[in-house]
Amino acid sequence: MKKTIKKIGILTGGGDCPGLNAVIRAVTKSAIVNHGLEVFGIEDGYAGLIEKRGHELTQVQVSGILTLGGTILGTSNRADPFRVPVVAGKKIVFEDHSDQAIEHFRQWGLDVLVAVGGDGTLSIANQLCQKGIPVVGIPKTIDNDLSGTDYTFGFHTAVSIATEAVDRLHTTAAAHHRIMILEVMGRNAGWIALHSGSAGGADIILIPEMPYSLDAIFAAVKKRAQHGKKFSLIVVAEGAKEKGGKVIMRKKDLKNPYPVKLGGVGAYLADKIEQLTGLETRSANLGHIQRGGSPVPSDRNLGTLFGTHAVELIRQQKWGQMVCLHGSVITSIPIEQAVDKLKLVTADNPLVQACEAVGISFGR
């Protein structure tokens, strides 16, 4: 028997992402205008659910936020109600506070939770659903590595920003006859590096899915130099690693669900290339610039499509589902299917094959 839905809770978890406000706006406006529902914004992702922090969302509050980056609700990539870090003496232990989070959900009078996030956020949402909380998921990640959807909003904005950076490095590389390396985000998946490297005309693209050989990189840049090319461009994902080697780690944060903080592979490669080839090499790390700023039109539209479809799933009371894009169709799949495994770049990907066809090396 279907229950009466009166009040929706929404949170944005994980890293911030261009297009989150478009989703918040779409959920809030379509729920209020079309179905007469109340919408409640949970602050700072699951941290707000654990600590009971949130506020009502109205049409006025979400007016004018479509073009804004970030999220008006705040977010957290640390908070997990099933794994709350607690300092015990000199150690950090993790406690399950999910019952407390569920009690807050009920005290607010919420009937359903809309969880907007990547694999971590949606995995937690799936666990809450298994404990009896009606949940609808919306996929968000600039890495585009969530299974079950062709694209996640935020990805195209990140690619646009990274491509502009490649374009800008192109001119300074040519002027100084240098090898320029751009390090972009991508812990496990190389979608940003692949798409921005291809669009920006990079000579070498290095991604986590394809461990690189230093010899292959040296050979590629030397070959260009021998053919009169006085500069080379390399785009590398932060999670790329040498064959038989490990990822380059910046630091560890034991309180974070992803304790290993990546960063530095660009600088590592710059040193190696310059030492072993004698070619002047510089690196730039784009970092969090990829996450910031106004979303491109396609991400605004995708966020709007995802948000309105999530409300439709709520109307139909299809719990445990994640909104997704298949071709040009907005549909849904079970959340557990979406988070079962990451969507990674494969060697037979058409864009990989096209890049290799025009002479771009993947360091293999």
**What distance in Å separates the CA atoms of residue 45 and residue 338, rounded to the nearest whole number?**
20
In whole angstroms, what is the distance from residue 223 CA to residue 240 CA? 22
Strands 84-88, 38-42: pairing kind: unpaired
Q: Choosing from 80, 143, 145, 299, which is the catalytic residue?
A: 143
Q: Which of 157, 122, 132, 120 is nearest to 142 (CA)?
A: 157
Please return the burial class of 88, using the count of CB atoms within 10 Å of its CB with bins 0-12, 13-18 and 19+.
exposed
SS3 of residue 42 by DSSP: strand
Letter for the amino acid at 49? L
Taking the C-alpha atoms of residue 350 and residue 243, their distance in angstroms, rounded to an integer, is: 23
Cβ(28)–Cβ(62) below 8 Å: yes
Write b or e for each residue in 288-316: b if 16 or more Cβ atoms lie within 10 A of its Cβ, otherwise e: eebbebbbbeebbebbbbbbbbbbbbbee
- Dmax over CA atoms of the chain, in Å, equals 73
Which residues on neighbouring strands pair with residue 56, listed in sequence order? 40
Structure tokens at 248: 């380059």
Could you report how far apart the first and last alpha carbons of the chain are, in Å?
A: 57
Residue 111 annotated among the catalytic residues of the structure: no
Pairing of strands 38-42, 54-57: antiparallel
The half-sphere exposure of 138 on its side-chain side, counting CA atoms within 13 A, is 32
Cα atoms in the 13 Å half-sphere on the side-chain side of 206: 28
**Residue in 15, 58, 122, 65 with CA at minimum distance from that of residue 300:** 65
- Cα separation, 184 vs 287, in Å, equals 6
Catalytic positions: 143
